[in-house]
Amino acid sequence: MPGKKLQFLVIHCTATPAGRNVSADEIRQWHLGPRPEADGVLYKGEKFSALSGLPPDKIGGVSVYKLKGRGWRQVGYSDMIHLDGRIENLVPYNADALVDAWEITNGVMGRSNNSVMRHVVYVGGMAADNSQPEDTRTPAQHVSLLAYVQQQIERVPDLLVAGHNQFDKKACPSFSVVQWALGRGIPAKNIYDKWPK
């Protein structure tokens, strides 16, 4: 079955303190690790009656028995922008304008429209003392994020750029993507300007 047309590029933050590095393994542990529930455990999108019933998997070298995450099948982001501006791919995708089933990441919780979204996350988004949301992007992250957005728009000319907070009532990505994009010369036709009710 062919994928759906890519419509949105959604920008996120890891919601970690300014200056704290985050690894791809940590992202995988947070998203894929088992989630305790009242009637068992959710892991890889499946229900297990108890933690002891999980397969002997490891995520980032750590046994799933020791992890507590969201129980998702897939991480929430396709790419991550590190503090030094390096972009790391977390979930492979091809260069066409379709989101195939194997490319879907779940950056917007409970949204069926993840199938028409690509999600990118920058490391940071919280004050150094972790007390409040804050735009902590480093100069290198600013450069990389702009180049990344421009490259994605070149690939998909009608792509809409948005912040996570434009779909859910959250602080993420801790800055206004609309204002940032307008200030960086992103065409208005490529900027999503709606907000959650």
Mean pLDDT of the chain: 94
- Look at residue 108 and tell me if it is in a domain: yes
The pLDDT, as a whole number, for residue 97 is 92
- Look at residue 197 and tell me if it is in a domain: no
Question: pTM value?
Answer: 0.94
- Look at residue 58 and tell me if it is in a domain: no
The pLDDT, as a whole number, for residue 155 is 94
Between 45 and 62, the higher pLDDT residue: 62
* CATH code for the domain in which residue 127 is found: 3.40.80.10
List pLDDT tens digits, range 150-194.
Answer: 999 999 999 999 999 999 989 999 999 999 999 999 999 999 999
- Look at residue 114 and tell me if it is in a domain: yes
Query: Domain count of the chain?
Result: 1
The DSSP string of the chain is: ---EEP-EEEEEE--EETT----HHHHHHHHHS-EEETTEEEETTEEESSGGGS-S-EETTEEGGG------SS-S-SEEE-TTS-EEESS---SSSEE-GGG----STT-GGGGGEEEEEES-EE-TTSSSB-----HHHHHHHHHHHHHHHHHSTT-EEEEGGGTSSS-TTSS-HHHHHHHTT--GGGB------
Structural domain containing residue 77: 4-20+73-190
The pLDDT, as a whole number, for residue 171 is 96
- Look at residue 51 and tell me if it is in a domain: no
- Look at residue 106 and tell me if it is in a domain: yes
- Look at residue 136 and tell me if it is in a domain: yes
- Look at residue 162 and tell me if it is in a domain: yes
| Averaged pLDDT, 2-23 | 95
